Amino acid sequence: MPQENIRRIAPNRNRQLVRAALAGTAFLLLALGCAAQDPPQDHSCTAYAAVEYTTPHGRDGSNFTHGGGFQAGGGFAVTRPAEPGKGVELYITVGFMYNRLAATGPALAQAIASDTTHQLASATSAHGSFEATTLDPTVNYHISRRFGVYGFGGFGWFRRGVEFSGAHPSTLIQSGGLTLDRLAADSGVVDAGGGINIGLRHNGGLMVYLEARVYHGLAINNGTTLVPVSVGVRW
In sequence order, what DSSP letters do the residues of the chain get, joined into one string?
--GGG----SPPHHHHHHHHHHHHHHHHHHHHHHHHHS-TTS-SEEEEEEEEEEEEEGGGGTTB--EEEEEEEEEEESS--SSTTSEEEEEEEEEEEEEEEEBPHHHHHHHHHH-TT-TTTT--EEEEEEEEEEEEEEEEEESSSSEEEEEEEEEEEEEEEEEEESS-------TT---TT-SEEEEEEEEEEEEEEEESSTT--SEEEEEEEEEEE-GGGTT-EEEEEEEEEE-
CATH of domain 3-234: 2.40.160.20
Q: pLDDT (tens digit, 9 = 90+) per residue, 175-199?
A: 444 444 347 899 999 999 999 999 9
Domain ranges for the chain: 3-234
Flag whether the pTM goes above 0.85.
Answer: no
Can you list the residues of the chain whose pLDDT is less than 50? 1-11, 35, 37-41, 175-182
Q: pLDDT (tens digit, 9 = 90+) per residue, 137-148?
A: 999 998 888 899
